[in-house]
Amino acid sequence: MDVKAVLICLKPDTAPRVADWQTRILQLKEQAIESIRNEGIEVESWFQVQLAGEHYLLAYIRSGDIARAEAIGAESTLEVDAVHRQFKLDAWDRNGMIECELLVDLQTR
């Protein structure tokens, strides 16, 4: 099982865009679940973080094959995936992406 966490720096003044994205994803929740199912993702969680005055998102994904999941998501024609791709273009500072190192991963099953 692959586990990935990424800290994503947001562009300045994108708080309203983050709120819009969150609202839209929740409106399309059933489609979002279909999307991660198609991608083979078991868990996908998003957190908002503020560090030293900078705004970030923390994404956590658990999947059988994260590279495969990302490839499938990039080709998806679902509305929820189009919304997410546009949000990434509008709000993410690609120079501020930090891959997190997994130290411990515990499961009950």
pLDDT in tens, 23-73: 999 999 999 999 999 999 999 999 999 999 999 999 999 999 999 999 999
Res 2: pLDDT: 93
CA 82 to each of CA 98, 105, 106, 109: distance values in angstroms, whole numbers, following the listed order: 23, 31, 33, 34
For residue 96, what pLDDT band results from cuts at 50, 70 and 90?
confident
* Contact criterion met (CB below 8 Å) for 65 and 4: no
Tell me how far apart the alpha carbons of residues 7 and 61 are, in angstroms, rounded to a whole number: 12
pLDDT tens digits, one per residue of 2-26: 999 999 999 999 999 999 999 999 9
Q: Which spans in the chain are helix H?
A: 15-27, 29-39, 66-75, 79-91
Q: Where are the domains of the chain?
A: 2-99
Which CATH topology does 2-99 take? Alpha-Beta Plaits (3.30.70)
Q: Average pLDDT, stretch 79-102?
A: 95
| Coil vs helix vs strand at 64 | coil
